Structure 1
């Protein structure tokens, strides 16, 4: 009977150990340690140190978040209380939160403990991408107090005057240290790791997410990796047509593509886009090295609607002048009605048409315009 009991105990122990091992293995698979080298501005210009960035995997084995354990404060004289703080980022390197181990607390100058309000305020400061700490040097925060030739304290109040909401009173150095961990060089490391895990499918999902920062991240990485598959370009096109904040990045991305993708997509932007997008397209075409065909210029002349703005008109005329040999009679004919627009636009059209090969009727309209506005030409 005793033998059976011992066998059962051993079996249960083995079963429990096996489950624990599997659970540990699963946790290990969900977290990948990346040994990186990072620079913190508070540690000197040339100081590069080793750090461990942990990537947390989610569904489909894709990155879900990242975290790194850092020092709460930089203190050269080793007189500050330094505790570990965990900084957490999302998949594109945006700071999310900070965490402290159980029983660990932050302290302010002269050992005063953090209050609940201080913890909340620190979180608010760290969430601010444009915090004043972005441009403050550590030597503008550090102060050294001496008494009887002994250094008594380091890292007092900042020598600069900060608004009350921009720092925790008595903990400016902690705020400075943590802000630069949260928004420093590690952000680029995170973005690189996420990009290395992504295929065009994930990029399209980010483009269609409605999240501006994810969309900009996707476009930047697609440009870096020179990805111009049909589904990706269509997603970029679709989102750019409805979001002006993507225009600059999208046009820059398309400028690195082949001429076919570049020209066809920009033509769609002119056909369906608003004035801001049309202006970006015309500027891009104007500064490209491509020679535009007469057919393409004729298609682009769709911009010459009744609602054409002065800036659009000016850029389009410069584009025509640059590709003068490809300007067709069709395009010239579409320009003639613009002599009836306001004087700023019509005068530009008149000057452009001066040396063009016009038919008799067009020359007559040009002469009539010159006679009517001779004092403004």
Structure 2
């Protein structure tokens, strides 16, 4: 029995080497003069105990611009080596987003029962690989194939009822869950970080601006990451990033991280614009950034910000605003006027304004308003 197992492992190792060598030889015959556009990388895959060595190839358009990546992988991991294992070509765009898969000429994927994929199976496989939130994201290899089944040479699919979990229609190709699992984890595994690294190295400022203005959030995020990494803090660039942040709240976190590296004046201009947004999430992010800033916030700038919050009633925002004022020892007409107007709001907001006013220098009239509030609400203070 031990001899058989060792023999199977040797056969599997040879098969892996042969399939990848065949693919690499085919690619190298075309790209020998462009070695820098191929990367030998080490990947981990949940179906494999050992790391895998693969070759990631860069894809260029006719203008010699990087537009994506491709890589050859094995179609399925088969512990007992009883499956039909083929080479599959995977393709991603420059951001590492899955585009498609292709099969070498004459290759047909097979299911557990030896039946070939039909058109609908290939289409479903593409849909699964195109879904980064597919169910395979949270499944282990042993969820797909029962350990006791593997030991008996029965690599059965989820639809057969012989696995720990069962798949609903559309979640896996019937009879080929393991193939779906194997390929999905290649598409969304470690390779994405390698592609990101290469894309960053090959991007220029002009290209990053182009990415920023594209409709895809993925491209926008990449552009802002690139500007931050390359320390591109020109006013024209920061203005464009700000405009995108105001249009897409999903960019706020990464956009704020970029803006915090700007010269103080530019940074404060951005904060002012963000605080004037009609979206609470954006205003809150700006205030959090301001609160965590190591730069002393000027009184004149804070006065302008206080005016923006006239009529506001969101406690989280106002609490942060007053905290910032306290941190920077702000005692101004604008801050006092805002706090006094908030005494008419609900008890949560008005109480925060009251405590802020206690540390301010008030005139006689203002003191009377604060005292009146205290008399009326002292049981809540």
1:236 counterpart residue number: 241
SS in structure 2 of the partner of residue 37 of structure 1 = strand
Q: 1:131 to 1:369 in 2, by over 3 A?
A: same
What runs of 5+ residues in structure 1 fail to find an aligned partner?
Answer: 1-23
1:17 counterpart residue number: none
Q: Deviations over 1:174-202 (max 9, x none)?
A: 00100001111111111111111112221
1:269 counterpart residue number: 274
Q: 1:60 to 1:269 in 2, by over 3 A?
A: farther
- Aligned-partner Cα distance in 2 for 1:55–1:264: 40
Residue 353 (structure 1) aligned with residue 354 (structure 2): no
- Superposed displacement of residue 261, structure 1: 3.7
Residue 127 (structure 1) aligned with residue 124 (structure 2): no
- Superposed displacement of residue 260, structure 1: 4.0
Which range is displaced more, 83-92 or 275-284?
A: 275-284
2:294 counterpart residue number: 289
Query: Structure 2 residue aligned with 1:300, among 300, 305, 308?
Result: 305
Residue 66 (structure 1) aligned with residue 32 (structure 2): no
SS in structure 2 of the partner of residue 165 of structure 1 = coil
- Superposed displacement of residue 357, structure 1: 1.4
Preserved CA contact (<8 Å) 2:306 2:334 = no
The ranges of structure 1 where at least 4 consecutive aligned residues each deviate by more than 6 angstroms after the TM superposition are 24-31, 144-147
Q: Deviations over 1:132-173 (max 9, x none)?
A: 2112111222347889xx965435444322222211121111
- Aligned-partner Cα distance in 1 for 2:47–2:234: 43
Preserved CA contact (<8 Å) 1:204 1:231 = no
1:100 counterpart residue number: 103
Preserved CA contact (<8 Å) 1:304 1:335 = no
SS in structure 1 of the partner of residue 343 of structure 2 = helix
- Aligned-partner Cα distance in 2 for 1:61–1:123: 28
Preserved CA contact (<8 Å) 2:44 2:52 = yes
Q: Deviations over 1:81-115 (max 9, x none)?
A: 11000111011001111111221100010312112
SS in structure 2 of the partner of residue 64 of structure 1 = strand
Q: 1:276 to 1:161 in 2, by over 3 A?
A: same
Preserved CA contact (<8 Å) 2:72 2:89 = yes
Preserved CA contact (<8 Å) 2:157 2:174 = no
- Aligned-partner Cα distance in 2 for 1:241–1:30: 42
- Aligned-partner Cα distance in 2 for 1:296–1:327: 13
Residue 76 (structure 1) aligned with residue 92 (structure 2): no
Kindly name which structure, 1 or 2, has the bigger radius of gyration based on alpha carbons. 1
SS in structure 1 of the partner of residue 113 of structure 2 = helix
Q: 1:145 to 1:247 in 2, by over 3 A?
A: closer
Query: Structure 1 residue aligned with 2:340, among 329, 333, 336?
Result: 336
1:114 counterpart residue number: 117
Q: 1:337 to 1:143 in 2, by over 3 A?
A: closer
Preserved CA contact (<8 Å) 1:297 1:327 = no
Q: Deviations over 1:329-371 (max 9, x none)?
A: 4422343222233443222211211132111121122122223
Which range is displaced more, 160-169 or 258-267?
A: 258-267
- Superposed displacement of residue 241, structure 1: 1.0
TM-score by length of 1: 0.84
What runs of 5+ residues in structure 2 fail to find an aligned partner?
Answer: 1-28
- The 5-angstrom pairing of residues 102-251 of structure 1 reads 102-143=105-146, 152-154=153-155, 156-157=157-158, 158-251=163-256
Preserved CA contact (<8 Å) 2:275 2:283 = yes
SS in structure 1 of the partner of residue 170 of structure 2 = helix
Q: Deviations over 1:18-52 (max 9, x none)?
A: xxxxxx989976993222222222112xx223211
Q: 1:85 to 1:278 in 2, by over 3 A?
A: same
Preserved CA contact (<8 Å) 1:244 1:277 = yes
Which range is displaced more, 51-60 or 220-229?
A: 220-229
TM-score by length of 2: 0.83
SS in structure 2 of the partner of residue 128 of structure 1 = coil
Q: Deviations over 1:281-335 (max 9, x none)?
A: 11122223332121222122123222442322122112112222x3324422343
Preserved CA contact (<8 Å) 2:313 2:345 = no
